[in-house]
Amino acid sequence: MAVDKQERNKHYISRKESREIAKNNSKMIRNFEKQKKRKIRPEEYVTEMKDPNNIVEFDDLHTFFFSDAGTVKAVNGVTFSVPAGSTVGVVGESGCGKSVTSLSLMQLVQAPSGQIVSGSIRFRADMFKLDEHGRKIPVYETETDEDGNDKLDENGNKIYKLDARGKKIIKKNELGGNMYEMEREVVDIAKMPTQAMRMIRGREISMIFQEPMTSLNPVFTIGNQLDEVGKLHIEGISKEKVKERSIEMLNLVGIADPEGVYKKYPHELSGGMRQRVMIAIALLCNPKLIIADEPTTALDVTIQAQILDLLREIKGKINGSIMLITHDLGVVAEMADYVVVMYAGKVIEMGTAEDIFDRPLHPYTIGLQKSKPTVDQVTDELYCIPGFVPNPINMPNYCYFRDRCDKCMEKCSGEYPGYVQVTPTHKVACYLYKDMAKEETNG
Amino acid sequence: MVKYIVKRLLLSIFILLGVSMIIYFIIRLMPMDYIDQTLGGLMSGGSAMNQEKIDAIKALYGLDDNSFGGILKGYFGWLGRFLKGDMGTSYMYNEKVEDVIIDNMGISFGISFVSLIFELIIAIPLGIKCAVNQYGKLDYTATVVCMTLMAFPTFFLGNLFIMLFADKLQWFDPSLGLVSTSLPVGTSGWVRFWDMMWHLVLPMVVLVLLNVGSYMRYQRTNTLEVLNADYIRTARAKGLSENKVIYKHVFRNTMIPLVTVLASALPMLFGGAMITETVFNIPGIGKKTYDALMKGDIPLAMGYNMFIAILTVLGILLSDIMYAVVDPRVKLGK
């Protein structure tokens, strides 16, 4: 009887508790918002990469939502990295914090309730070099000799080309915009002010969302929404050039009649077409990283395959990286070089695609694999992991998967398991492999 | 589009017929008609007026037979003249109905139009600001103030303002009306114009205060809804500045419900603010018809109500058309 009552009270928040939660929330939110509004100097967020081959490093990232029911630890200490030029798949059930991880990377977590609480997201960005007045430094056209080297005058200075009015001509970059001096900087997005983040969004990192049906603004034409990005990020580009670039992008993503689609409104296109448009928007400024947040979930199977092919093709063309978020293991197997498996806001296993698919270790990963329909096996019923993802409020400090795990041991009631490095590329957070690792180190 | 509009206009004929019939019956069913009200007092005084004479006058006005058939007959009589373009002569003002409406509409339109402009200028930016800083200080303050103002009845707030600003503080002419009594009769031009403007400040302020709340809340709710849309996240992911996100992507989408509300404000714009005009004693169409209604002046009441009904029908049609203009997803069918 008493147990029953306790059980029932678990999901019930008393008025006192609710008041406490609200008080705590408003305090926390106020602090974080104040932190954001304060003027942040570049020195505070410029850092160094742990591994220079990486383009993004998540380091112990915590993103919480301060909700009325309590603090939701959507991302609770996530650490992984995206090596340059690779595709990283992030897998997990719904509500595991996959999307919030990617939104944190874009600083798009729904404020004020959602906040990056601690940790860092290091990103290797090409930032504009600024002069002492805080202005961008343009690169000018110079006179060159036959070999393409700069001609120098008697003082050893470069000779600049001049236009009709005697002004120096700014060099054009490959997108047709003005060229400025750039510098490679590693920034911590978790600490970066939104102002500076806007230079990265759309230009260095772009995002493809889950819902192509609602991700385009219904009242503007496709052309308008594409041009917007070009006008914003490619400085000094002419209107015609922007349009040219937009149509080129529509062509690139395999839209048959780019000029026609350019003039259309989103509601006149199908879901697959809209997702292509979203990809075109994402590609417009040659980003270094594309975040694809379940890009194929809302599409039917044939279109899914086409979109995945497109993403793969494009990755080769722009020479960037892709962070692919999905719950579809098939998609990950097909696309990813590295796989990160998330469960309840934590990374529970990560490794190369072969590691995860050929030698899955964590019982959750094994369960996920088993629950995938396969052609070569005859089964009456599809396997399903029993239970649900736990309520992310007031999470206990033991392995979150314990209650659903078929290999649960006595040890599992202990504190949250640390990572076990099984092979140089393969890490797992489970007690099953703790001993194995110990044996290895002992032996 | 043309086909759609024509179809809607044809349909509205039936609506107007129904409306006119209902209004006519209601007015005729009022317990006191015009003759009773103006001549009834004379009878008790022991004068030459007696019931037979009153009945004769009633028959002359066509108000004698209050049975269903009689009212119906009266209605069709009115309808026949109306369709010929004759709206009749107002009992009370002894002028043609259309003249009464047209002569008094200007001032009412002026007050309503200027108030509406101010309402929108205040409500729309404020609504957006409140939505962007949801549950912030500004949001709470604006909500409380707007709700309080919305809760006031017009006559109460109007009289409160008269008492405060006209009687106590003497900022405005306490005798109300449209022009000061102290103004010499022959005065015209700018002096008269400014005097009129001065008299219109208080009623306009009252109108703005009373209506700004609902527009503000409406804009706030719409903005909040759009702010949570996926395409706003897309706009932010593009790297657009917050101002551009809000004033281009959000605002353009909140305009869709806004224009429909504005288009349906059309009858209010021409119809006058009846209570405000009465409280401030402004001889606009609202006050004129209020007096006429109280007296049972059937031609003017019918004329005014038909005028409002036509404006309402046109307003709704206009809002449908505006819908198609601002929202590319809406196409007007056949």
Distance CA A356, CA A86 (A): 16
Banded model confidence at residue A440, pLDDT cuts 50, 70, 90: low
Q: Cα dist. A97→A40, A101, A102, A344, A359 in Å? A: 28, 6, 9, 7, 24
d(CA A396, CA A400): 7
Q: Using an 8 Å Cβ cutoff, are A159 and A151 in contact?
A: yes
Question: What pLDDT score does A338 carry?
Answer: 93
DSSP for B220-284, written as a single string: HHHHHHHHTSHHHHHHHHTT--HHHIIIIIIHHHHHHHHHHHHHTTHHHHHH--HHHHHHTT--S
pLDDT for the residue A235:
80
The domain of A172 spans: 138-179
Position A9 in a domain: no
Check whether A96 has a pLDDT greater than 90.
no
Is A370's pLDDT higher than 70? yes
Best-predicted range by mean pLDDT (A170-179, A390-399, B1-10) = B1-10
**Contact pairs from chain A to chain B, CB under 8 Å:** 70
- Per mean pLDDT, which range of A138-147, A343-352, B153-162, B268-277 is the poorest? A138-147
- Of B67, B66, B79, B117, the residue nearest B296 (C-alpha): B66
Residue A167 lies in a domain: yes
The larger pLDDT score, comparing residue B55 to residue A101, is at A101
Instruction: Report yes or no on A113 lying in a domain.
Output: no
Query: Which of A109, A130, A132 minimizes the C-alpha distance to A189?
Result: A109
Which of the residues A215, A216, A277, A278 would you substitute to probe the B interface, choosing the one with the greatest number of B C-beta atoms within 10 Å? A215
Q: Identify from B238, B241, B325, B331 which residue to disrupt to test chain A contact, counting A C-beta atoms within 10 A and taking the largest count.
A: B238
* Cβ-nearest to B241 among A198, A209, A219: A198
Is A66's Cβ below 8 Å from some Cβ in B? no
Q: Looking at residues A180-196, what average pLDDT do you find?
A: 85
Q: Is A166 within a domain?
A: yes
- B269-278: average pLDDT: 82
Predicted local confidence at residue B170, as pLDDT:
84
Rounded to a whole number of angstroms, the distance from the CA of A298 to the nearest CA of chain B is 14
**What residues of chain B lie within 8 A of the CB of A209, using their CB?**
230, 233-234, 237
Using an 8 Å CB-CB cutoff, list chain B residues near A199.
239
Whether B165 and B202 have beta carbons less than 8 Å apart is answered as yes
Residue A1 has pLDDT above 50, yes or no: no
With contacts defined as CB-CB under 8 Å, which chain B residues touch A68? none
Number of helices (H) and strands (E) in chain A: give both, helices first: 14, 13
Q: Cβ atoms within 10 A of the Cβ of B254, count?
A: 23
A218 min Cα distance to partner chain B (Å): 7
Q: Is A341 a member of any domain?
A: no
In angstroms, rounded to a whole number, what is the distance separating the alpha carbons of residues A270 and A286? 25
**Above 80 in pLDDT, residue A159?**
no
Query: In terms of CA atoms, which chain B residue is nearest residue A229?
Result: B238
| Residue A30 counted as domain residue | no
Is residue A388 over pLDDT 70?
Answer: yes
Q: Do A265 and B328 touch (CB under 8 A)?
A: yes
Q: Rounded to whole angstroms, what are the CA distances from B181 to A216, B133, B192, B222, B313?
A: 62, 49, 11, 47, 40
**Contact assignment for B327 to A215 by CB distance below 8 Å:** no
Interface mutation vs chain A, best among B233, B234, B248, most A CBs within 10 Å: B234
Q: CA-CA distance, A76 to A81, in Å (whole number)?
A: 16
Compare CB distances from B327 to A219, A232, A281 and report the shortest one's residue: A219
Of A203, A211, A220, the CB nearest to B239: A203
Question: How near does any CA of chain B get to the CA of A34, in Å?
Answer: 13
Q: Select from B231, B237, B242 the Cβ nearest to the Cβ of A217.
A: B231
In a domain, A158, yes or no: yes
Q: Which helix (H) or strand (E) holds B8?
A: helix B2-28
Give the range with max mean pLDDT: A177-186, A273-282, B47-56: A273-282
- What's the number of domains chain A is made of? 1
Which of A281, A271, A269 lies closest to A302, judged by CA?
A271
Mean pLDDT of chain A: 84
Q: Note whether B253 contacts A218, CB cutoff 8 Å.
A: yes
**What confidence tier does A384 reach under pLDDT thresholds 50, 70, 90?**
confident
Angle, CA A217 vertex, CA A214 and CA A220 arms, to 5°? 145
Contact across the interface for B231 and A198, Cβ inside 8 Å: no
Q: Which residues of A199-225 are buried (b: 16+ CB within 10 A; e: fewer)?
A: bbbbbbbbbbbbbbbbbbbbbbbbbeb
pLDDT, tens digit, 9 for 90 and up, residues B185-214:
666 778 888 888 888 899 999 999 998 999
Residue B324 pLDDT more than 50?
yes
Tell me the domains of chain B and their CATH numbers. 2-68 (no CATH), 103-326 (1.10.3720.10)
- Tokens (6 digits) for A13: 């928040």
User: Which of residues A251 and B270 earns the better pLDDT score?
Assistant: A251
State the alpha helices, DSSP H only, in A58-165.
Answer: 98-105
Q: List chain A residues with CB under 8 Å of B328.
A: 218-219, 265, 267
Residue of B nearest to A209 (CA): B234
CA distance A102 to B57: 85
Measured distance CA(B34)–CA(A115) in Å, rounded: 71
Asked if A192 and A107 touch (Cβ cutoff 8 Å), the reply is yes
Q: Taking a C-beta distance cutoff of 8 angstroms, is the pair B301, B82 a contact?
A: no
Residue with the larger pLDDT of the pair A380 and B128: B128
Q: How far apart are CA A249 and CA B286, in angstroms?
A: 60
**Is the pLDDT at A443 greater than 50, yes or no?**
no
For residues A365-388, give the mean pLDDT: 79
ipTM rounded to 2 decimals: 0.85
In a domain, A155, yes or no: yes
| pLDDT at position A10 over 60 | no
Percent of chain A at pLDDT exceeding 90: 20
Residues A341-353 pLDDT 10s: 998 888 989 999 9
Q: Taking residues A391-417, what's their average pLDDT?
A: 80
B interface with A, Cβ–Cβ below 8 Å: 229-231, 233-242, 249, 252-253, 256, 326-329
pLDDT digits (tens, 9 = 90+) for A210-244: 888 899 999 999 999 999 998 888 887 888 889 99
- C-alpha distance from residue A188 to each of A44, A125, A185, B263 (Å): 9, 10, 10, 50
Which pair of structure tokens corresponds to residue A104?
Answer: 């944190």
